[in-house]
Amino acid sequence: MAQKEVTGYVGWVYFAGILMIIAGIFQAIAGLTALLNDKFYALVNESLLIVDVTTWGWLHLLLGLLIFAAGMAVLSGHVWGRVVAIILAVLSISAQFAFVGAYPFWSLLIIVADITIIYALIVHGDEVNA
pLDDT in tens, 79-89: 999 999 999 99
Tell me, what DSSP letter sits at residue 5? Answer: P
Residue 16 domain flag:
yes
pLDDT at 48: 45
Residue 2 domain flag:
no
Q: How many domains does the chain have?
A: 1
Rg from Cα positions in the chain: 16
Section 90-111 average pLDDT: 84
Residue 31 domain flag:
yes
Residue 65 has pLDDT above 70, yes or no: yes
How does residue 110 score in pLDDT terms, banded at 50, 70 and 90? Answer: confident
Number of H helices, E strands in the chain: 4, 0
Residue 1 domain flag:
no
Q: Which domain holds residue 92?
A: 10-127
pLDDT tens for 70-79 read 999 999 999 9
| Closest to 127 measured CA to CA, from 12, 38, 31 | 12
Residue 35 domain flag:
yes
pLDDT tens for 18-34 read 999 999 898 898 889 88
Contacts for 111 with CB less than 8 Å, ≥ 6 apart:
93, 96
